[in-house]
């Protein structure tokens, strides 16, 4: 454990941020899974609604700095392409 006050604070702050980032990443994964499940079920309406929600969650994660801009864009693009391919 650190002895210097600022180092102690860094440890605490990094723990809080790590937990926040973990929760946000988990939310992104859950949203993506919901879209994937709707696609596999062949339900285009549910997939479109889930895509809208997933896009929102991914954009918020990007805005908070959890995901990089290109990563977020790539995820949204791949999900949209998959939803559009549902018959």
What mean pLDDT is predicted for residues 27-40? 97
Ranking 2-6, 58-62, 81-85 by mean pLDDT, the lowest is 2-6
Average pLDDT over residues 48-61: 97
Rounded Cα–Cα distance for residues 63 and 68 (Å): 9
Q: How large a percentage of the chain has pLDDT more than 90?
A: 94
* Dist. CA 13–CA 25, nearest whole Å: 18
pLDDT at 81 over 90: yes
DSSP state of 65: T
Burial class (CB in 10 A: 0-12, 13-18, 19+), 9: exposed
Domains and CATH numbers, the chain: 15-84 (1.20.58.110)
87 has a pLDDT exceeding 90: no
35's CB contacts (< 8 A; 6+ apart) are 47, 50, 51, 54, 79, 82, 83
Averaged pLDDT score across all residues of the chain: 96
């Amino acid at each position: 454990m650190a002895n210097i006050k600022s180092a102690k604070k860094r440890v605490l702050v990094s723990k809080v941020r790590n937990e926040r980032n973990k929760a946000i990443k988990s939310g992104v994964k859950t949203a993506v899974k919901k879209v994937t499940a709707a696609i596999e079920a062949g339900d285009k309406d549910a997939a479109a609604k889930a895509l809208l929600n997933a896009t929102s969650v991914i954009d918020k994660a990007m805005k908070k700095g959890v995901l990089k801009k290109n990563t977020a864009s790539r995820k949204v693009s791949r999900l949209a392409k998959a939803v559009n391919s549902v018959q």
